[in-house]
């Protein structure tokens, strides 16, 4: 179960990235497998949001980043199809990250 401090940091990321207010609803465990391999496993924080023109809910989480994993990167996905559930929000994020990495390789 996520700590209150962690949920607060994710909530602040939601509000900062999308300029709206957010209220935590629940924490949902997600285990995303692709071709028999785990591509993501963790907990997604679900927030009701107010003040966004297109979405009423957002999904958020963080993960280690940087060359030595000492930084924290927040991911926030709005509940807009196809991201209509915590699991689908993770899928959308994973696909976006894979495409970003492939684009970076092709530009080298």
Per-residue pLDDT of the chain (108 residues; tens, 9 = 90+): 679 999 999 999 999 999 999 999 999 999 998 889 998 999 999 999 999 999 999 999 998 887 787 788 999 999 999 999 999 999 999 888 888 888 776 665
pTM: 0.88
Listed in order, strand segments (DSSP E) in the chain are: 21-34, 37-50, 57-65, 71-78
CA atoms within 13 A on the CB side of 14: 30
């Amino acid at each position: 179960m996520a700590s209150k401090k962690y949920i607060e940091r994710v909530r602040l990321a939601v509000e900062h990235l999308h300029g709206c207010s957010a209220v935590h609803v629940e924490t949902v465990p997600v285990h995303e497998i692709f071709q028999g391999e785990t591509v993501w496993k963790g907990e997604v924080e679900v927030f009701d949001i107010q003040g966004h023109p297109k979405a009423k809910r957002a999904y958020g989480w963080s993960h280690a980043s940087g060359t030595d994993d000492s930084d924290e990167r927040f991911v926030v996905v709005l509940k807009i199809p196809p991201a209509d559930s915590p699991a689908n929000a993770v899928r959308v994020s994973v696909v976006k990250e894979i495409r970003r990495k492939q684009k970076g390789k092709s530009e080298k």
